[in-house]
Each structure stands twice: as C-alpha cells, then as structure tokens.
C-alpha cells in the first residue's frame, strides 16, 4: 500500500481531502491520504501566493528516500501566481486546458521526482460544487438554489465555469449568497453532491483521482 500526500492551498481543500477524497480512495485499499498545507514560513500554513512556497513544501515531503508514497498537488488555476515556472510561456497557450497542462508539465520537470505529479484544478475548488444542484438545494435558501441551478444548466462541464474575476465559481457563489462560508458550507455541499457525481461531471478532476489510484496499485 502506498501513501498519498496532497499539497493544498487552504483549509477548504484540506477538509475536502479528508472528508471526500480520502474516503473514496479507501475503496481502493489506499488508507493513508494526507492533505498538507503549503508552508508560507516556519510557522505559517496555507495560501498560494508564491511558487517558492509550493516548491519548498513539495521538496520537503520528497526528502525521504522511501518509495512507498506519492506526492501531488491540489491548487486552483484561478489567480494562480505569476511566479509559477514558465508562467509567461504557459499562459500564452491558446486555451485554459493547454495553459494548465503546460504549467503542470513545467512543475513536474522542475520537481523531477517519479513520486510526484502536479494537479491544477480548473478553475477552482468551487467548480466541483456545481456538479449537481442538490448541495445548494439542501444548504442554500430556495431563491439562491434557483440561481445556482441556472448556472449549472449553462455548463455541461462545471470545470468550464470561467475564471474572470466576476465569473469564477467562488465569486458567483458570493454574489448569490454574500455570507457563503467556504470552509464550512463548501465542504457540506461537497458531501451532499458526492464524489461520484463530481467524477462523472468533471473530467480533469476525474483524471487526477484516477491517476492517484493507478499509481498506488
């Protein structure tokens, strides 16, 4: 059995790994799935404001010479810092998928360890919540749930909900429900939607989870 360390930006993603991703991977005999907050200083944790913090966190996890674990990332494409390696060249690609794949490829090349592979969420964690309206219907007022339903109907793939400052999934939720609490409500909604629905609706996310499964076989 291999262990998985998932480097995350904040408490929302940390809780999502613990409450949604880890229990799903248990079904495949992967019982050690640990979210690791990005180290921003000796005492600081969380946040993705500088690639150096991400790099240092990953390299620290890879210092061991053991081979019974893998390290991956779960970071948002929305407002990804321009300190990412190869940022200008990657962002010159023709569409978001190509840009993300280029950013991931450069990161993998820089880390250069077969136990590591990067993953960037298109466009951010909240996109996964739009896989189905059941979570919003359960936790949001009826009027708010009608608005989220309208957004869901506009996109076959929730990951395509665009990354403009006003159009990002999290910004849309805040516009609909200004007191939306990302860590608490975001993860309650995720649990209500369920990972199976997310995997069915979000191909990039499904590809990442599937790769973790394969690497741990």
| Polymer length in residues for the chain | 217
Q: What is the pLDDT of residue 40?
A: 74
The structure tokens listed for 119 are: 């993953």
pLDDT interval class at 44 (50, 70, 90) = low
Q: Are 118 and 73 in contact (CB under 8 A)?
A: yes
Q: What is the pLDDT at residue 63?
A: 96
pLDDT of residue 43 exceeding 60: no
- The whole-angstrom separation of Cα 126 and Cα 160 is 12
Per-residue pLDDT, 49: 83
pLDDT at 107: 98
Residue 120's pLDDT band (cuts 50, 70, 90): very high
Integer Cα distance of 205 and 201 in angstroms: 9
Mean pLDDT across the chain: 94
- What angle in degrees, to the nearest 10, is found between the helix axes of 51-61 and 96-111? 50
pLDDT of residue 72: 98
Please tell me which residue, 25 or 1, carries the higher pLDDT value.
25
Least Cα distance to 103 among 65, 131, 144, 75 occurs for: 75
Query: What percentage of the chain carries pLDDT values higher than 70?
Result: 96
Please count the other Cβ atoms lying within 10 Å of the Cβ belonging to residue 96: 17
Contacts of 120 (CB under 8 A, 6+ apart): 73, 75, 76, 77, 80, 100, 103, 104
Give the tens place of pLDDT for each residue, 45-93: 666 789 999 999 999 999 999 999 999 999 999 989 999 999 999 999 9
Which pLDDT tens digit goes with each residue over 158-191?
Answer: 999 986 777 899 999 999 999 999 999 999 999 9
CA angle 123, 98, 61 (to 5 degrees): 65
């Amino acid at each position: 059995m291999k262990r998985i360390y998932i480097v995350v930006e904040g408490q929302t993603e940390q809780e999502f790994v613990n409450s949604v991703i880890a229990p799903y991977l248990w079904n495949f005999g992967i019982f050690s799935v640990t979210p690791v907050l990005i180290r921003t200083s000796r005492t600081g944790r969380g946040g993705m404001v500088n690639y150096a913090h991400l790099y240092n966190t990953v390299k620290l996890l890879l210092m061991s010479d053991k081979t019974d674990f893998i390290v991956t990332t779960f970071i948002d494409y929305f407002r990804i810092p321009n300190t990412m390696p190869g940022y200008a060249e990657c962002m010159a690609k023709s569409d978001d998928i190509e840009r993300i794949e280029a950013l991931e490829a450069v990161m993998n090349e820089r880390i250069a360890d077969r136990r590591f592979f990067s993953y960037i969420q298109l466009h951010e964690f909240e996109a996964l919540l739009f896989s189905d309206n059941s979570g919003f219907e359960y936790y949001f007022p009826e009027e708010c749930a009608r608005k989220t339903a309208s957004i869901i109907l506009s996109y076959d793939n929730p990951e395509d909900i665009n990354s403009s400052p006003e159009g990002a999934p999290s910004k849309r939720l805040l516009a609909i429900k200004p007191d939306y609490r990302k860590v608490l409500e975001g993860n309650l909604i995720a649990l209500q939607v369920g990972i199976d629905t997310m995997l069915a609706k979000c191909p990039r996310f499904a590809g990442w989870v599937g790769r973790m499964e394969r690497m741990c076989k």
